[in-house]
Structure 1
Amino acid sequence: MPRLDDPVTIGPCEVPNRLYRAPLLECAGNGEDAVDILVADLEPAAASGVGLVFQGATIVTESGGCAAPGMTRVHDPEFVARLSALTDAIHAHGGTIFVQLEHGGLRSMETWHAGYREQHPDEQQLAVSEPPWQLRLLDGLGFLDFDPHVMSTGDVYDLVESFATAGEHCVEAGYDGIHLAGANMGIIQQFLSPFYNRREDEFGDGIRFMELLHDELRERVGDTPIVTKVPSEAPAPPVVRRRLGDDDAVAIARQLADIGYDAVVPVRTSVVWDMSIVRGEYPARAWRDESLQEGYAEAFGGRLRTRGVRFMNWLESFQFDFEPAWNADLARRVREVVDVPVLLEGGVRERGQMDRLLGDACDMAGMARPFYAEPRLAARLLGADASDGTRVVCENCNNCTVPQVTGAVGQCRTPSVLRRRGKFEEAGAYDTD
C-alpha cells in the first residue's frame, strides 16, 4: 500500500508525494500586490514539503463570475505572466502547482452580494438555464436576486474558449496542471446538474460540455494534466428532486476518465451554498467580530438580513456537523471504475488516516482549512510515523471561512488553535532540512 510520502504521477507530471493543499480562497485580487499575496499564502505549503499545491479558484472572464470578493482573474495574459513568480517559488522547493479555473454562474456575487449588485446594477448572472423554481422562490422572497443571462449555444462555446485561453496562459506562466472547479455550485457543476441544466441543445448533457472543455484545453496545453472535481449533490435539501446522487457521480467520473481527464476529485456538495463543503462547528467567533460587521451588512444587505443569514448558518451546523473523511466512500467507489488517480479531500485530518485511505479510497490525500491554521503543516505530517497519531490543530470551527464573504483574507482566527500552532513552532515542528 502506498504511503503519504511516496511519489505519484498525474498524467506526465511527477508529484514528489501524495499530500496536496486543496484549493482555498486566497482573496488576492488582481492588484499590484496580488502576486506577492499569493506567494506569501501558497509558498509555505511547498516549503514544508507539500507535493502538490492547488491555487484556489481563479475566474476566467474579465467581468462577472466571482463567487466571493477578491477572487483573482486570469483572463489577462499580462497579469498571468506575472504569476511566474509564484510558480517559480513553488518549484524552488521541489513542489508542483496546479491552477483552479472557475466561473460562478448563478452563484456569482451578482446573485447574493447586495453591495456588489448596487455597484454593478447592469451586470447579469451567467446561467446554464432559467433558474429552477426553488431559486426563483428565494428571489421572490428577497433572499437572492436573479437577473440571469441564459447562455445561447454560441455563448457556451465562448465560455469554453475563455477557460481554454486562461489555461493556456497559466501553463505558459509555469503552472504544472489545470484543475477545473467542477463542484461547489460553480458553473461547471451547473452544467452537470439536472437541478440547473434544462437545456435543449447539445449541452443539455453536461458531459458534452466537459468533453468540449477538455478538448479545447488539450488543444492549448498539450499533455499538461487536466484534473476536475466531480460532484454528488446528495446533501441537497429534500425539496430538490432533480439532483446528482452518488451513483451519478461515479458514472460521470468514469466518463470523464474515458474522455481523457488525468485525475478526478469526487466531492459531495449541495446545489445551493451551505456548509456541506465546510462541515464543522457554527463559527460564533467570526459572526461576533465587530470589525467584520460593516462588511457583513454590505454583503447581505443590512444588519437585519445579516442576522437572518447568521441564523441559517447556525441551523446548518447541526445538519453538517464534522465527519472524518466524509467523501471517502464516494471516492472509493469512483476509484473502482477509473484508471486515473483519485484525489480525496474533505475531513482528512490525521496522518494515520491518510495512509489507511491511500491505495484504498484514493491515490492522494488533501486538506484545505487546516492550511489556514498551519501554513507549514506538511512538515509535521510528512515527518510523522503513521502510527503516532499526528493530526492537524484545525478544530473545524469555520471562523476562517465566514469572514471571506466580506473579502477578508483566509486565516485562522481561533486563539486555542493559534496557541497550539505556536507551541509547535517553538518546538521546531515546522522546520525542514
Structure 2
Amino acid sequence: MATLEDPLEIGGMTVPNRLYRAPLLECAGNGPDAVDALIDDLEPAAASGVGLICQGATIVRGDGGCAAPGMTRVHDPAFVSQLSRLTDRIHDHGSRIVIQLEHGGLRSMETWHAEYRAEHPDLEQLAVSRPPWQLRLLDRLGFLEYDPHVLTTAEVYELAADFGRAAARAVEAGYDGVHLAGANMGIVQQFLSPFYNRRDDEFGGSPEARLQFLAVVHDEIRDRAGDVPLLTKVPAETPAPPRPVVHRKLSLEDGVEIARRLEKIGYDAVVPVQTSVVWDMSIVRGEYPERAWTNEGLQAEYDAAFGGAARKRLVSLANRIQSLQYDFEPAWNADFCRRVREQVSIPVLAEGGIREREEMDQLLGGAINKSENPETPACDMVGMARPFYAEPRLGARLLETGSETENPRVLCESCNNCTVPQVTDAPGICRTPAVLRKRGDLEREGAYDRSEP
C-alpha cells in the first residue's frame, strides 16, 4: 500500500510524494504585482515539501468568466511568460505545479456581482443552455440577474480552443501539467450536468454528448500543448436540493461513468468531488462564518458586491442555512473516490475534509470508517485547500513525521471566515485569531522548519 511519502506518476510527470495543495483562490489578479503575489501564496507549500501545487482557478479569456474578484487570467502571452518566475521557484524546491483552467459560465461575476455588472454593462453572460426554471425564478424574485448568451455550436468549439491556447502558454511558462476546473459550478460542470445542459447539438442530449466538451478540450490541449499531464475534477451533484426542486442532476453513478469515459478519452488523472448544482457551501463544508459576515470594515463592500444591504442579508441567511445542511464531514469525497478508483487505472486524487495524517494514510492504504470495502484504497493522492490558508507551510508538519504514534492534525477549523471576504477582492488568508495564535506557537517551536534536499 502507498504511503504519503511515496512518489506518484501522473501522465509522465513524477510527483515526489502524494500530498498536494488543492486549488484555492489566490486573488492575485493580473496587475504588476500578480506574479509576486502568486509566489508568496504558492511557494511556501512547495518549500514545506508538498509534492504537487495546484494553482487555483485561472480564467482562459480576457473578458468575463471570473467567478470571484481577483482571479488571474491567462489569455495574454506576455503576462503568462512572466509566470516562469513562479514555476522556477516551485521547481527549486523539487515540487511540481499544475495550473487549473476555468471559465465560470453562469457562475461568473457578471451574474451575481452587482457592482461588477454595473461597471461592465456590455459583458455577456455565457450559458450552455437557457437557465433552468429554478434560476429563472431566482431572477424574477430579484436574487440573481440572468440575461445570458447561449453558446452556439461554433462558439463552444472556440471556447474549447481558448482552453487549449491557455494550456499551451502555461506549459511554455514551465507548468508541469493542466488541471481543469470540472466542478464547483464552472462551465465544465454546466456542460456535464443535465440540470444545465439542455442542448440539442453534439454537446447535449445524452450523457455521452454532455461529455463532448471535455473531449474537445482534451484534443485542443493535446494539439496545442503536447502530451502534457491532464487532470480534471469530476462532479457528482449529490448535495443538490432534492426533488421536486432539482430532479435532473449527476448521481454518484453518473460521476463514476464520467471518470471511466475520461480515462478512455485520454485524461491522466481525475479528482472526484461531490458538489451541488449551485455555488454553495457544499464545496466548503463547515461552520457559518459569523466573524466574516459581522466584520464592520467589509459591510460597504458586501453591499456593493451583492447589490445592497437587503440582498447581503439574504445571502448571509442562505449561508447560515447551508452551514447546517453541509456540516463538516471528514473526507466527505472518500466513498466517491473509492468507487471511481475501482473503475479506472489512472490516478485518483482525493480532497474535501481531509484533516489528519492518519486519515491520509487510511485513504491511501486501506480502511476509512464509511467504506463497504475497507481493503481498497480510496485514492492515490490526497489534497487540502483551506488548511493552507491557515498554515502555508503545512507540508512540513505532515510529511515524514518520524513517529508511528504521531498523528498531526491541521489547525484549520473549517470556520469559513477565510472565504466570504473574497467576494470583496480580499486575499485568501486565515482570519481566525485562535488558529493564528496556534500557528505562531508552532512557528516558534520550529514545526515548519524543513531541511530541503
TM-score tier by shorter-chain length is over 0.9
SS of 2:136's equivalent in the other structure is: helix
Q: Which residue of 2 aligns with 1:33?
A: 33
Q: Which residue of 1 aligns with 2:368?
A: none
Q: Does 1:389 align with 2:395?
A: no
| Counterpart among 390, 397, 401 of residue 373 in structure 1 | 390
Q: Does 1:156 align with 2:161?
A: no
Q: Which residue of 1 aligns with 2:171?
A: 171
Question: Aligned equivalents of 1:26 and 1:295: distance in 2?
Answer: 19
Question: Aligned equivalents of 1:164 and 1:386: distance in 2?
Answer: 45
Whichever residue aligns with residue 243 of structure 1, its letter is K
Q: Which residue of 2 aligns with 1:417?
A: 435
* Superposition deviation, residue 113 in structure 1: 0.3
Whichever residue aligns with residue 330 of structure 2, its letter is P
Q: CA, structure 1 residues 240+386, in 2 after alignment: closer, same or farther (shift >3 Å)?
A: farther
Contact kept? 1:355, 1:386, Cα under 8 Å: no
Q: Which residue of 2 aligns with 1:185?
A: 185
Q: Which residue of 2 aligns with 1:338?
A: 344
Contact kept? 1:352, 1:387, Cα under 8 Å: no
SS of 1:198's equivalent in the other structure is: coil
Question: Aligned equivalents of 2:398 and 2:225: distance in 1?
Answer: 33
TM-score (norm. length: structure 1): 0.99
* Superposition deviation, residue 387 in structure 1: 3.5
Q: Which residue of 2 aligns with 1:91?
A: 91
For residues 326-365 of structure 1, what are the alpha-carbon distances to aligned partners after superposition, in whole Å with 9 as ceiling and x for unaligned?
Answer: 0000000000000100000000000011011014000000
SS of 2:72's equivalent in the other structure is: coil
Q: Which runs of 5+ in 1 are unaligned?
A: none
| Counterpart among 293, 297, 310 of residue 291 in structure 1 | 297
Q: CA, structure 1 residues 120+270, in 2 after alignment: closer, same or farther (shift >3 Å)?
A: same
Question: Aligned equivalents of 1:389 and 1:208: distance in 2?
Answer: 43
* Superposition deviation, residue 383 in structure 1: 3.1
Question: Aligned equivalents of 2:27 and 2:213: distance in 1?
Answer: 28
Whichever residue aligns with residue 278 of structure 1, its letter is V
Q: Which residue of 1 aligns with 2:369?
A: none
SS of 1:380's equivalent in the other structure is: helix
Q: Give the count of matched residue pairs.
A: 433
Question: Aligned equivalents of 1:393 and 1:156: distance in 2?
Answer: 43
Question: Aligned equivalents of 2:257 and 2:141: distance in 1?
Answer: 36
Q: Which residue of 1 aligns with 2:379?
A: 362
* Superposition deviation, residue 129 in structure 1: 0.3
* Superposition deviation, residue 386 in structure 1: 5.3
Percent identical residues = 69
Q: Which residue of 1 aligns with 2:236?
A: 232
Q: Which residue of 2 aligns with 1:407?
A: 425
Question: Aligned equivalents of 1:380 and 1:295: distance in 2?
Answer: 36
Whichever residue aligns with residue 162 of structure 1, its letter is D
Whichever residue aligns with residue 363 of structure 1, its letter is D
Q: Does 1:352 align with 2:370?
A: no
Q: Does 1:102 align with 2:102?
A: yes
Question: Aligned equivalents of 2:440 and 2:260: distance in 1?
Answer: 44
Q: Which residue of 1 aligns with 2:446?
A: 428
Q: Which residue of 2 aligns with 1:200?
A: 200
Q: Please tell me the root mean square deviation across aligned C-alpha atoms, in Å.
A: 0.7
* Superposition deviation, residue 273 in structure 1: 1.1
* Superposition deviation, residue 308 in structure 1: 1.2
Question: Aligned equivalents of 1:329 and 1:200: distance in 2?
Answer: 33
SS of 1:202's equivalent in the other structure is: coil
Question: Aligned equivalents of 1:16 and 1:301: distance in 2?
Answer: 47
Question: Aligned equivalents of 2:302 and 2:281: distance in 1?
Answer: 18
* Superposition deviation, residue 295 in structure 1: 1.2
For residues 223-264 of structure 1, what are the alpha-carbon distances to aligned partners after superposition, in whole Å with 9 as ceiling and x for unaligned?
Answer: 210000000001111111000010000000000011110000
For residues 146-182 of structure 1, what are the alpha-carbon distances to aligned partners after superposition, in whole Å with 9 as ceiling and x for unaligned?
Answer: 0100000000011001000000000000000000000
Q: Which residue of 2 aligns with 1:220?
A: 224
Question: Aligned equivalents of 1:394 and 1:386: distance in 2?
Answer: 23
Question: Aligned equivalents of 1:251 and 1:21: distance in 2?
Answer: 26
SS of 2:53's equivalent in the other structure is: strand
Question: Aligned equivalents of 2:66 and 2:187: distance in 1?
Answer: 11
Contact kept? 1:334, 1:342, Cα under 8 Å: yes
| Counterpart among 204, 210, 214 of residue 210 in structure 1 | 214
SS of 2:25's equivalent in the other structure is: coil
Contact kept? 1:374, 1:421, Cα under 8 Å: yes
Q: Does 1:130 align with 2:147?
A: no
Question: Aligned equivalents of 1:302 and 1:64: distance in 2?
Answer: 22
Contact kept? 1:167, 1:217, Cα under 8 Å: yes
